[in-house]
Structures are given as structure tokens and as C-alpha cells.
């Protein structure tokens, strides 16, 4: 993997960089593992916009990725490494010995032709999935379960990796990339290795059109709106109505206001937060 630069044929292309597709082995997905993806454009279950500035973008085909890795003790061979438009990571197609095919997240170091296994009898090598109790401390892992059997929920983005730092009382202490340390049950499964496409966050879009292709629409400041549209709107010139603190269109404080619910169930499992507080 490497960063690809473009010749400055236009002002927007002068700074544009992308990750090359050297690891990609095919440009066509497995048809049986794809389905149509409905566009919700930032709308909730009642059809109203709950997240602003979403919509448009390129049409995407959804890949069905196996986050559970619940085909235990059945060996699989890596057939292809593919691009997935729905996530920053790459995906790998597995051919199981019983004939079934599944997509998984592609970790660094997993090559076409390698064989992987899931279950308690699997070896500690890249691409294999084991319970946390069977993984040695210090091992880099990803796709970590929080509830046994639910499937991986943590560490799934490109370049991410977590580390097991301690084991005690039926729990493992996981250090996440953000610096957070949390306890996870030992019988939860995780996959060995670091998620691939490490240079994803080192790229530069270079122009607004790239952002629009991703489905992100322009952002308009509240102070240039009308009072009916935003609390900061209205007034003569650049007034901003004298609001002491920035707020959202609904009046919620926009900077520094904590929205996490108090006494959340998972708080008791967090040993060290991202900010360094215990």
C-alpha cells in the first residue's frame, strides 16, 4: 500500500491523494454476497432528517460481511481481496471447505491462498478468530465482540488495532487505539491482526466533488441563516444575535456539551477513558 499523488493539471488535483489499490485482486464482488442498499440520506425511522448534510453521492452495492465468524473449526481459504465502498477497510473473500463463501475484514498480512480458522482450536495467526481467553496478552486484535455471539463491534475501521493488556476474573482488559481501556468478557471472540488499508487516513480529498461523491452535502453557517432556521440567524450584518455560546438548530449546546447518558451500563466496564481519566 502506498499514497498515490496526481499531476497538478487543475488546482483541485494539486493536493489530491489516494491510496493505491495494490492489494486489490479483483474488481467484481461475489454476487451471492451482495444486495441493494437503500439510501436513507440522514433520515430516521420516522422519515425525518436526524443528521444534517447527508444525501446524494455515488450509488453503492452492499457487501454482506461476516462479523460473527461463527463457522467454527471449518477451515477457509482466502480467495480474493476486494474494495468495499461502504467502509474504509478492505474485505477478503473466504472459500470454506464445505463450499460456503463469506466476506471478512481484511487484516494486514493476510494474502490470497492463506488458510484461516475460527474457534477455540484455531492458531494465533493473522485472520484467525479465537476467544479472548485463548489469545496471548500483547497480541494485536480487531473485530472484537462486546456480547458473546453478537459479532464484532469494536475496532473495525481501516488501520485500527487493539491490544490485550491483562486478564482477570473472567474479563480481559483491552487497550483501544483511542487510549481507552475497557474490560471485555473472556468468552467474546476477536480476530488476530490489524485492519488493513492503513494509509486511508493519510489521504487528501483535494476538491469538494470528492466529498459529494461520499454523500456529504455542503455546510451552511448558522449566522447567515434566518431566525426561523437557526438561533444564530437574523440581524443586520454579521451580528449573530449576540448568542453567548454556539448551539445547534434546536438550541442544544454545540461545543463541550456532554451528551452521553449518565449511569450507562457499559460505564462500569471502562477502566480508562479516552481523555486519560480513570
Secondary structure (DSSP) of 130-165: EEGGGSPTT-EEESEESSTTT-EEES-STT--EEEE
How far is C-alpha 161 from the geometric centre of its chain's CA atoms? 12
Domain assignment present for residue 203? The answer is no
The stretch 226-230 carries a mean pLDDT of: 92
Alpha helices in the chain (DSSP H): 208-213
Tens digits of per-residue pLDDT, 154-176? 999 999 999 999 999 999 999 99
CA dist., res. 75 & res. 95, Å (int): 9
Torsion on CA atoms 7, 8, 10, 16, rounded to nearest 10: 80
Q: Do residues 189 and 235 both lie within one domain?
A: no
Q: Which domain holds residue 31?
A: 24-37+56-196
The stretch 5-33 carries a mean pLDDT of: 93
CA dist., res. 175 & res. 189, Å (int): 16
Residue 34 contacts residue 28 (beta carbons within 8 Å): no
Question: Is the pTM higher than 0.75?
Answer: yes
Q: Using pLDDT thresholds of 50, 70 and 90, give the confidence band for residue 242.
A: low
Domain assignment present for residue 42? The answer is no
SS3 240: helix
Burial of 237 (0-12, 13-18, 19+ CB in 10 A): exposed
Q: Residue 277: pLDDT above 70? A: no
pLDDT at 153 (0 to 100): 96
Identify the CATH number of the domain in which residue 255 sits. Answer: 4.10.950.10
> 24: which 3 cell numbers?
486489490
Q: Using pLDDT thresholds of 50, 70 and 90, give the confidence band for residue 41.
A: very high
Q: Do residues 115 and 253 both lie within one domain?
A: no
Number of domains in the chain: 2
Beta bridge partners of 34: 63
Let me know how long the chain is. Answer: 278
Tens digits of per-residue pLDDT, 59-86? 999 999 999 999 999 999 999 999 999 9
Q: If phi over 0 gives left and psi between -120 and 50 gives alpha, with beta otherwise, what is residue 201?
A: alpha
Following DSSP, what letter does each residue of 203-239 receive, concatenated? -B--SHHHHHHTTBPPP--GGGS-TTT-TT--SSSS-
Domain assignment present for residue 145? The answer is yes
Q: Do residues 180 and 238 both lie within one domain?
A: no
pLDDT at 238 (0 to 100): 82
Identify the CATH number of the domain in which residue 95 sits. Answer: 2.30.30.30
Q: Using pLDDT thresholds of 50, 70 and 90, give the confidence band for residue 125.
A: very high
* Location of C-alpha cell 456480547: 147
Domain assignment present for residue 16? The answer is no
Q: Using pLDDT thresholds of 50, 70 and 90, give the confidence band for residue 273.
A: confident
Amino acid at each position: 500500500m502506498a499514497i498515490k499523488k496526481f499531476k497538478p493539471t487543475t488546482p483541485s488535483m494539486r493536493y489530491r491523494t489516494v491510496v493505491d489499490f495494490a492489494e486489490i485482486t479483483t474488481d467484481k464482488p461475489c454476487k451471492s454476497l451482495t444486495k441493494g442498499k437503500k439510501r436513507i440520506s440522514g433520515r430516521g425511522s420516522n422519515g425525518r432528517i436526524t443528521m444534517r448534510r447527508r444525501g446524494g453521492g455515488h450509488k453503492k452495492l452492499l457487501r454482506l460481511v461476516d462479523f460473527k465468524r461463527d463457522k467454527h473449526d471449518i477451515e477457509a481459504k482466502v480467495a480474493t481481496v476486494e474494495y468495499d465502498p461502504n467502509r474504509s477497510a478492505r474485505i477478503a473473500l473466504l472459500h470454506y471447505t464445505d463450499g460456503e463463501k463469506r466476506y471478512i475484514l481484511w487484516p494486514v498480512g493476510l494474502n490470497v491462498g492463506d488458510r484461516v480458522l475460527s474457534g477455540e482450536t484455531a492458531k494465533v495467526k493473522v485472520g484467525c478468530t479465537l476467544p479472548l481467553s485463548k489469545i496471548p496478552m500483547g497480541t494485536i486484535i480487531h473485530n472484537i465482540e462486546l456480547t458473546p455471539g453478537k459479532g464484532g463491534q469494536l475496532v473495525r475501521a481501516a488501520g485500527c488495532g487493539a491490544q490485550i493488556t491483562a486478564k482477570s476474573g473472567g474479563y480481559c482488559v483491552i487497550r483501544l487505539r483511542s487510549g481507552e481501556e475497557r474490560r471485555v468478557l473472556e468468552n467474546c471472540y476477536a480476530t488476530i491482526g490489524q485492519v488493513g488499508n492503513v494509509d486511508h487516513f493519510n489521504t487528501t480529498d483535494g476538491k469538494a466533488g470528492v466529498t459529494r461523491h461520499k454523500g456529504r452535502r455542503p455546510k451552511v453557517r448558522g449566522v447567515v441563516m434566518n431566525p426561523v432556521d437557526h438561533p444564530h440567524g437574523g440581524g443586520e450584518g454579521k451580528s449573530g444575535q449576540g448568542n453567548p455560546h454556539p448551539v445547534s438548530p434546536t438550541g442544544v449546546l454545540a461545543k463541550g456539551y456532554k451528551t452521553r447518558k449518565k449511569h450507562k451500563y457499559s460505564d462500569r466496564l471502562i477502566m480508562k477513558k479516552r481523555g486519560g481519566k480513570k
